[in-house]
Amino acid sequence: MKKSALLAAVLALPMAVPLAAQDDPAAGVSAERLRADVESLVGFGTRHTLSEQDNPERGIGAAVDWAADSFRAISTDCGGCIEVVLPETVVEGLRVPTPTRLRNAVAIQRGTERPDEVIIIQG
Protein backbone atom coordinates (compact mmCIF):
# COMPACT_ATOMS: atom_id res chain seq x y z
CA MET A 1 0.00 0.00 0.00
CA LYS A 2 2.80 2.44 0.89
CA LYS A 3 4.61 1.66 -2.36
CA SER A 4 1.52 2.33 -4.48
CA ALA A 5 0.88 5.64 -2.68
CA LEU A 6 4.49 6.67 -3.22
CA LEU A 7 4.31 5.65 -6.88
CA ALA A 8 1.12 7.68 -7.35
CA ALA A 9 2.75 10.72 -5.75
CA VAL A 10 5.85 10.42 -7.95
CA LEU A 11 3.74 10.03 -11.09
CA ALA A 12 1.71 13.13 -10.17
CA LEU A 13 4.79 15.38 -9.86
CA PRO A 14 5.02 16.25 -13.57
CA MET A 15 1.41 17.47 -13.45
CA ALA A 16 2.14 19.85 -10.56
CA VAL A 17 3.58 22.58 -12.77
CA PRO A 18 3.56 26.03 -11.15
CA LEU A 19 1.63 28.76 -12.91
CA ALA A 20 3.68 31.49 -14.56
CA ALA A 21 3.57 34.71 -12.56
CA GLN A 22 2.49 37.97 -14.10
CA ASP A 23 5.21 40.56 -14.52
CA ASP A 24 3.59 42.88 -11.97
CA PRO A 25 0.12 41.81 -10.77
CA ALA A 26 -0.27 45.04 -8.78
CA ALA A 27 0.26 47.21 -11.85
CA GLY A 28 -3.44 47.07 -12.74
CA VAL A 29 -4.63 47.92 -9.22
CA SER A 30 -5.96 51.43 -8.75
CA ALA A 31 -6.14 52.95 -5.26
CA GLU A 32 -8.85 55.31 -6.51
CA ARG A 33 -10.95 52.43 -7.83
CA LEU A 34 -10.55 50.47 -4.58
CA ARG A 35 -11.56 53.54 -2.56
CA ALA A 36 -14.60 54.13 -4.79
CA ASP A 37 -15.67 50.48 -4.49
CA VAL A 38 -15.40 50.57 -0.68
CA GLU A 39 -17.36 53.84 -0.56
CA SER A 40 -20.07 52.31 -2.76
CA LEU A 41 -20.35 49.29 -0.48
CA VAL A 42 -20.46 51.49 2.63
CA GLY A 43 -23.26 53.45 0.96
CA PHE A 44 -25.60 50.46 1.23
CA GLY A 45 -25.72 51.00 5.00
CA THR A 46 -25.39 47.32 5.82
CA ARG A 47 -24.50 44.13 4.04
CA HIS A 48 -25.66 41.85 6.82
CA THR A 49 -26.93 38.53 5.51
CA LEU A 50 -30.37 39.10 7.02
CA SER A 51 -30.71 42.69 5.75
CA GLU A 52 -33.05 43.80 3.01
CA GLN A 53 -32.98 41.82 -0.23
CA ASP A 54 -35.39 43.85 -2.37
CA ASN A 55 -34.50 47.46 -1.59
CA PRO A 56 -32.56 48.91 -4.55
CA GLU A 57 -30.61 51.33 -2.33
CA ARG A 58 -29.97 49.62 1.01
CA GLY A 59 -28.91 46.23 2.32
CA ILE A 60 -27.33 43.07 1.02
CA GLY A 61 -29.61 42.82 -2.02
CA ALA A 62 -28.60 46.26 -3.28
CA ALA A 63 -24.92 45.45 -2.67
CA VAL A 64 -25.12 42.18 -4.61
CA ASP A 65 -26.94 43.90 -7.48
CA TRP A 66 -24.27 46.65 -7.53
CA ALA A 67 -21.47 44.06 -7.64
CA ALA A 68 -23.17 42.15 -10.47
CA ASP A 69 -23.69 45.38 -12.43
CA SER A 70 -20.03 46.31 -11.88
CA PHE A 71 -18.92 42.91 -13.17
CA ARG A 72 -21.22 43.25 -16.20
CA ALA A 73 -19.71 46.68 -17.00
CA ILE A 74 -16.21 45.20 -16.85
CA SER A 75 -17.34 42.38 -19.13
CA THR A 76 -18.77 44.86 -21.63
CA ASP A 77 -15.50 46.82 -21.62
CA CYS A 78 -13.47 43.67 -22.35
CA GLY A 79 -15.75 42.33 -25.09
CA GLY A 80 -17.53 39.74 -22.97
CA CYS A 81 -14.42 38.26 -21.37
CA ILE A 82 -16.24 37.78 -18.05
CA GLU A 83 -19.25 35.60 -17.32
CA VAL A 84 -21.41 36.92 -14.47
CA VAL A 85 -23.47 34.46 -12.45
CA LEU A 86 -25.69 34.96 -9.40
CA PRO A 87 -25.82 31.71 -7.47
CA GLU A 88 -28.41 31.64 -4.73
CA THR A 89 -29.78 29.35 -2.08
CA VAL A 90 -32.24 29.48 0.79
CA VAL A 91 -30.85 28.87 4.26
CA GLU A 92 -32.48 28.27 7.58
CA GLY A 93 -31.17 27.25 10.95
CA LEU A 94 -30.68 28.25 14.55
CA ARG A 95 -29.12 31.62 13.71
CA VAL A 96 -31.50 32.36 10.83
CA PRO A 97 -34.99 33.04 12.25
CA THR A 98 -36.84 32.56 8.95
CA PRO A 99 -35.80 30.89 5.69
CA THR A 100 -33.59 33.46 3.97
CA ARG A 101 -32.42 33.75 0.39
CA LEU A 102 -28.66 34.17 0.00
CA ARG A 103 -27.19 35.47 -3.26
CA ASN A 104 -23.68 36.11 -4.46
CA ALA A 105 -22.31 37.96 -7.46
CA VAL A 106 -19.57 35.95 -9.15
CA ALA A 107 -17.40 37.01 -12.10
CA ILE A 108 -15.76 34.20 -14.07
CA GLN A 109 -12.89 34.94 -16.42
CA ARG A 110 -11.70 31.83 -18.22
CA GLY A 111 -8.06 31.45 -19.16
CA THR A 112 -6.93 30.50 -22.64
CA GLU A 113 -4.46 27.79 -21.65
CA ARG A 114 -6.35 26.15 -18.78
CA PRO A 115 -9.99 27.34 -18.99
CA ASP A 116 -11.27 24.73 -16.53
CA GLU A 117 -8.96 25.73 -13.67
CA VAL A 118 -10.43 27.91 -10.95
CA ILE A 119 -8.84 30.65 -8.89
CA ILE A 120 -11.04 32.22 -6.23
CA ILE A 121 -10.29 35.72 -5.02
CA GLN A 122 -12.32 36.97 -2.11
CA GLY A 123 -12.16 40.24 -0.24
Sequence-ordered list of residues with C-beta below 8 angstroms from that of 41, at least 6 positions apart, any chain: 47, 63, 66
Residue 55 has pLDDT above 90, yes or no: yes
Residue 105 has pLDDT above 90, yes or no: yes
Residue 96 has pLDDT above 70, yes or no: yes
pLDDT for 29-50, tens place per residue? 899 999 999 999 999 999 888 8
- Cα(24)–Cα(26) distance, rounded to whole angstroms? 5
